[in-house]
Amino acid sequence: MSAVLPAVVKRGAIRIDDVVKVYGSGETAVPAVDHCSLSIEAGEICMIVGPSGCGKTTLLNAIAGFHSISSGRIALDGETLCDAARPLAEPGSDRIVVFQNGALFPWKTNLENVAFGPIVQGKLARAEALERARELLAGAGLSGVEDSYPGELSSGMRRRVEIVRALMNEPKVLLLDEPFRALDALTKSVMHQALLEIYYRNKVTIVFITHDLDEAVLLGDKVVVMTSRPAQVKRVIPIDIPHPRNVSLVTTKRFRELLEEARLAVHEEARKSFASGEKEG
Amino acid sequence: MIIERLRSKAGLRASISLIAFVALWELGARSKAWLGADVFSPLRALLEAGGFRPSYLPWIGSIPAPSAVASTWTTVLGQPDYWHSWYMSFMRVSGGFAAAMIIGIPFGLLLATSRTLFGIFFPVFEVLRPIPPLAWVPASIIFWPTQELSIAFVTFLGAFYTIVINVVGGAQSIDRRYFEAARSMGASRWNVFRRIILPATLPSIVVGAVVGMGITWEVVVAAEMISGGGSQAGGTAGGGLGFLIWNSYVGGSYELIVLGMISIGIAGLVSSELLRKLGAYVTPWARAR
Amino acid sequence: MAELTATVRRVERARSSSEGRAVGLFRQHLQAWFRVRRPHLALLGYGLALGAWYLAVEVWQLPRFREMPGPTVVIKEWLSPDPTYGLSIHTAEYYQHIVVSIWRVTQAFFFATVLGVPLGLLMGWSETFRQYAFPLFEVLRPIPILAWVPLAIVMFVSGESSVIFLIFLASFFATALNTMLGVESIDESFVRAARCLGASKWQVFRHVIVPGAMPFIFTGLQISVGVAWFSLVAAEMVSGQFGLGYVINTSYTMVRYPTIVIGMITLGAVGYATSALVRVAGSWLMRWRERTLNIGGPS
């Protein structure tokens, strides 16, 4: 069973049932995901780790609706997102992705970026949306950046603005694809704290892909270890450290035990990947 | 393999639009008074209302039809004059282009490696660059003893600017870390040049060459028309595909005009593709991605 | 960097008097500017070029160079209130030709942009449309613009239209191609992010594709202007009646050599000015780029 959640949350449960994704066909077929099954509870932080290029991103993209699946089924709160009959899910603001290299629109101000979702969906009038965006940014400790452009911010701040942009739409799920990969260790640690704070305020399910095991054990309610390509679930390690957490956890004994467990599981797969010369995914 | 490509959806669509184009062309050319036809009156009225004078619209009726062009093609292919034109244009293009590469690449590399030389010569280069190569034609004719040389000079200019700009740009955008890595491994200045600057600039040189080749064809055709035709009398040294086109116009054989245009188009395409293949061969690492 | 620090230290010492302070600061800025822009080197370059021209033509009178007009002749003619060959900054004709050429380029550029940008956007955005349109586009593009001249003369009733058509063709291809490349260059993440946030296809086009392709579009427009001037000269030389290309050509046939050079230099200047205009317009529309690139902070 997973650890204690901040509150009981009813939305955002994802079921991945026996999903297979094969690129190409016939002789040139490349299996990316091989009979992967996973259950993510509503409101939990699920960390997905595994060697580079093993297919984790493919899975995330399938949930988001950017890639189709070959067979199996992915469902959100019981509703089918995609299956063999309808292999490509429809992207929507109930599952929002935060990208590895950031995808804040460089040609819009930060405020316009954050307000983008409700405006294009017609949920709020422009003035209202901008006002609400301003509030959200202030709540996240980011007031002052509204009228500057993303290119003028540091990477860490950009990520935070991007997360606020996502949360503005009150999604059920946040899909994070190695969002902190390009940050230095100090900024990362600040971002971890920031993400936890955001999580405690907004009840969302978080699916988080990472290479960083420290990050995985620190943030996650469970750590899902994937095999090397083609991806399958190798192990699910529940993290029973109670919430609310903070970054000083990393020195506790329990943390280090869990970290070791994860490390052993991942290392084996990483060696297989390395030997077969996997390219960066 | 080509058949497969043609049968694919993309190939099919390409064929459809090309065939539609030729069909419209044929229809337009056959009906001599195309733009006077009732079918187009509303369009003309609309444009006139929008302030456009009717003379803005092309009179398709006077162009030769593709069928006429096709039938001329078979006769022309047998004539040695036609192939001589190819040869002349091709020679000019190669000559000017080769000169531009031989002078342009070292010049560009020189400017990129020495900050002082760049500071001295690049401003002059940039001041001269906006002057279109064809504007140099009269000056070139005055200066060079033969007409061939004057055409060659103008051709050279056209490609020269492009190649130098691309080389300089390419060399300047080389990541500093390559230099630092080389120097930390003990490379001499010459080695740095030979093993880092040269290979790293190669892709830009290729781009400059491909674009420059296109410009070269433009200039050659223009120069052939201007010095062979244009408002200047004389010039027996004409020849070349540009001259062919102009001559056909003057002589009233419109089908040959279109034929000439198609020929040049093919020639330009072929030379660009050859260059691109050569470029890819020379920069194998760029393909790996 | 070290020299700048040394300069600053020198400036500090000069700060004993307030006057010395102002002068010192000015000198510091001037020295920094010299280091970056190096106008002294540029001047050296211009001087060398002009000097070589002058020496070759007017002083040493080298074999081929003899026939050419030298810099002094050209400048004298250009500035003279009563020019021998009829064209100087004091004659109305000079400006007439300039205006005619500029007006032609403007019209052609306008049509090329209004038709080329949407076409490029469509070709980049819709795979289906591209499969129909691009092959035809690529078949017509390699045909040199001048090769269209006779056809243009035949097709268009008025000579003016044919000139504009030729210029239009060249610009059109450049604009459409670059616009298409611009759309293709947009990182897929932006499109995906927009779709995640609930944007419809049209909204993605409006909020992501068009702004995202802008840098390429403007590069294309600058190339388009350059190509327009190239074609203008060619077209005017062959079939024009006014304009700078016409001037250069007729000056040759009428043996008015200094005017050739005046025409060339004017062409270069006007061409540069129009290109700069487009570049400035682009910078203004893409202010976000300016601000991004100016901040040299962390990546």
Among chain C residues, the shortest Cα distance to A64 is held by: C196
**B116 Ramachandran zone, left/alpha/beta (phi>0; psi -120 to 50):** alpha
**A47 near A216, Cβ under 8 Å?**
yes
Q: Note the pLDDT of residue B34.
A: 47
Hey, where are the domains in chain C? 2-67, 92-288
Contact A65 C195 (CB under 8 A): yes
CB-count burial class (<10 Å; 0-12, 13-18, 19+) for B182? middle
What does DSSP say about strands A205-210 and A45-49: parallel, antiparallel, or unpaired?
parallel
pLDDT tier, C259 (very low <50, low <70, confident <90, very high otherwise): confident
Q: What percent of chain C has pLDDT over 90?
A: 21
- Tell me, yes or no, if A91 comes closer than 8 A to chain C by beta carbon: yes
ipTM of the complex: 0.85
Among chain B residues, the shortest Cα distance to C44 is held by: B120
**Domain CATH number, residue B118:** 1.10.3720.10
Contact A155 C298 (CB under 8 A): yes
pLDDT tier, C84 (very low <50, low <70, confident <90, very high otherwise): confident
Q: What percent of chain C has pLDDT over 70?
A: 86
Instruction: DSSP for A71-106, please give it.
Output: EEEEEETTEEEEESSS-SPPP-TTEEEE-TT----T
- Tell me, yes or no, if B21 comes closer than 8 A to chain C by beta carbon: yes
Query: In the 8-state DSSP scheme, what is residue C59?
Result: I
Residue B204: both structure tokens together? 């830009």
Among chain A residues, the shortest Cα distance to C291 is held by: A152
Chain C hits for B246, Cβ within 8 Å: 149-150
pLDDT tier, A278 (very low <50, low <70, confident <90, very high otherwise): low
Residue C145: both structure tokens together? 């613009």
- Tell me, yes or no, if C101 comes closer than 8 A to chain B by beta carbon: no
- Write out residues 8-67 of A within 8 Å (CB-CB) of C: 64-66
Residue A91 has pLDDT above 80, yes or no: yes
Q: Note the pLDDT of residue B227.
A: 67
Buried b vs exposed e over A139-166: b needs ≥16 C-beta within 10 Å? ebebeebbebbbbbbebbbbbbbbbbbb
Lowest mean pLDDT across B60-74, C24-38, C41-55: C24-38
Claim to verify: residue B11 and residue B71 sit in the same structural domain: no
For residue B60, is it within any domain? no
Bigger pLDDT: C78 vs A5:
C78
**C201 Ramachandran zone, left/alpha/beta (phi>0; psi -120 to 50):** alpha
Among chain B residues, the shortest Cα distance to C267 is held by: B131
Residue C170: both structure tokens together? 């060249």
Q: Note the pLDDT of residue A8.
A: 54
Q: What percent of chain A has pLDDT over 90?
A: 21
pLDDT tens, per residue, chain B with 289 residues: 566 666 677 778 888 888 888 887 777 777 655 444 444 555 666 666 665 555 556 666 667 778 888 888 888 888 887 888 888 888 888 988 999 999 999 998 888 888 888 888 888 888 888 888 888 888 888 888 888 888 889 889 989 998 998 888 887 777 777 777 877 888 777 777 777 778 888 888 888 888 888 888 888 888 887 766 443 333 334 578 888 888 888 888 888 888 888 888 888 888 888 888 888 888 777 654 4
Chain C hits for B60, Cβ within 8 Å: 155
Residue among B213, B241, B89 nearest B156 (CA): B213
How far CA B252 is from CA of A51, B256, B258, in Å, comes to 72, 9, 12
Count of CB atoms situated within 10 Å of the CB of C138: 13
Residue A208 has pLDDT above 90, yes or no: yes
Which segments of chain A belong to CATH 3.40.50.300? Answer: 1-94+174-281
Instruction: Tell me the nearest-neighbour CA distance from B77 into chain C, angstroms.
Output: 19
Residue A60: both structure tokens together? 């995330």
Bigger pLDDT: C17 vs C274:
C274
Q: CATH homologous superfamily for A1-94+174-281? A: P-loop containing nucleotide triphosphate hydrolases (3.40.50.300)
Chain B hits for C128, Cβ within 8 Å: 13
How far CA A173 is from CA of A97, A102, A113, A167, B143, in Å, comes to 9, 18, 19, 9, 74
Among chain A residues, the shortest Cα distance to C202 is held by: A120
For residue B61, is it within any domain? no
Lowest mean pLDDT across A234-238, B29-33, B211-215, C250-254: B29-33
Count of CB atoms situated within 10 Å of the CB of C40: 11
- Tell me, yes or no, if A167 comes closer than 8 A to chain C by beta carbon: no
- Tell me, yes or no, if C254 comes closer than 8 A to chain B by beta carbon: no
Contact C187 A103 (CB under 8 A): yes
Rounded to an integer, the average pLDDT of A89-100 is 87
Q: Note the pLDDT of residue B238.
A: 55
Average pLDDT over all residues of chain A: 85
Residue C283 has pLDDT above 70, yes or no: yes
Give the domain range for residue B253: 66-286
CB-count burial class (<10 Å; 0-12, 13-18, 19+) for A75? middle
Q: Note the pLDDT of residue B5.
A: 60
Contact A152 C299 (CB under 8 A): no
Q: Note the pLDDT of residue C293.
A: 56
Query: In the 8-state DSSP scheme, what is residue C55?
Result: I
Claim to verify: residue B93 and residue B126 sit in the same structural domain: yes
**C180 near C205, Cβ under 8 Å?**
no
pLDDT, one tens digit per residue, over A144-175 is: 888 899 988 888 888 889 999 998 998 989 99
Q: CB-CB: which of A99, A107, A120 is closest to C198?
A: A120
Average pLDDT over all residues of chain C: 82
- Tell me, yes or no, if A139 comes closer than 8 A to chain C by beta carbon: no
Bigger pLDDT: B30 vs C79:
C79
Rounded to an integer, the average pLDDT of C195-213 is 92
Q: CATH homologous superfamily for C92-288? A: MetI-like (1.10.3720.10)
Residue among B174, B171, B196 nearest B185 (CA): B196
Contact C226 B231 (CB under 8 A): no
- Tell me, yes or no, if A97 comes closer than 8 A to chain C by beta carbon: yes
What does DSSP say about strands A71-76 and A14-23: parallel, antiparallel, or unpaired?
antiparallel
| SS3 (DSSP) at C87 | coil
Task: Using the structure block, give the residue that is written with the tokens 């892709």.
Answer: B203
Contact A154 C214 (CB under 8 A): no
Question: How far apart, in whole angstroms, are the C-alpha atoms of residue C79 and residue B235?
Answer: 35
Lowest mean pLDDT across A19-23, A184-188, A227-231, B12-16: A227-231
Among chain C residues, the shortest Cα distance to A100 is held by: C189
pLDDT, one tens digit per residue, over C234-248 is: 888 766 678 888 888
Residue among B123, B131, B120 nearest B154 (CA): B131
Contact A106 C207 (CB under 8 A): no
Chain C hits for A97, Cβ within 8 Å: 192-193, 196
- Tell me, yes or no, if B35 comes closer than 8 A to chain C by beta carbon: no
Instruction: Tell me the nearest-neighbour CA distance from B44 into chain C, angstroms.
Output: 15
Claim to verify: residue B169 and residue B226 sit in the same structural domain: yes
Interface present between B and C (3 or more CB pairs within 8 Å): yes
**C170 near C111, Cβ under 8 Å?**
no
**C171 near C114, Cβ under 8 Å?**
no
Among chain C residues, the shortest Cα distance to A104 is held by: C190
What's the one-letter identity of residue C240? G
Bigger pLDDT: C297 vs C153:
C153
Q: Which of C185, C190, C196 to mutate to test the interface with A (most CBs of A within 10 A)?
A: C196
pLDDT tier, C296 (very low <50, low <70, confident <90, very high otherwise): very low
Contact A91 C196 (CB under 8 A): yes
Q: Note the pLDDT of residue A81.
A: 85
- Tell me, yes or no, if B262 comes closer than 8 A to chain C by beta carbon: yes
CB pairs under 8 A between B and C: 196
Claim to verify: residue B42 and residue B91 sit in the same structural domain: no
**A18 Ramachandran zone, left/alpha/beta (phi>0; psi -120 to 50):** left
Interface present between A and C (3 or more CB pairs within 8 Å): yes
Contact C142 B62 (CB under 8 A): no
Q: Note the pLDDT of residue B65.
A: 78
Claim to verify: residue B38 and residue B130 sit in the same structural domain: no
Quick one: CA torsion of A60, A63, A66, A70, rounded to 10 degrees? 100
**C87 near C264, Cβ under 8 Å?**
no
Residue A2 has pLDDT above 50, yes or no: no
**Tally of structural domains, chain B:** 2
Chain A hits for C185, Cβ within 8 Å: none
pLDDT tier, C118 (very low <50, low <70, confident <90, very high otherwise): very high
Q: Note the pLDDT of residue B197.
A: 79
Q: CB-CB: which of A66, A102, A105 is closest to C192?
A: A66
- Tell me, yes or no, if C142 comes closer than 8 A to chain A by beta carbon: no
Instruction: Tell me the nearest-neighbour CA distance from C18 into chain B, angstroms.
Output: 36
Question: How far apart, in whole angstroms, are the C-alpha atoms of residue C7 and residue C22?
Answer: 14
Q: Note the pLDDT of residue A223.
A: 92
Q: Note the pLDDT of residue C13.
A: 59
- Compute CA A172 distance to the chain's CA centroid, rounded to the nearest angstrom: 12
Among chain B residues, the shortest Cα distance to C159 is held by: B55
Q: CB-CB: which of B13, B123, B133 is closest to C45?
A: B123
Contact A93 C194 (CB under 8 A): no
Contact A99 C189 (CB under 8 A): yes
Rounded to an integer, the average pLDDT of C263-283 is 89
pLDDT tier, C121 (very low <50, low <70, confident <90, very high otherwise): very high
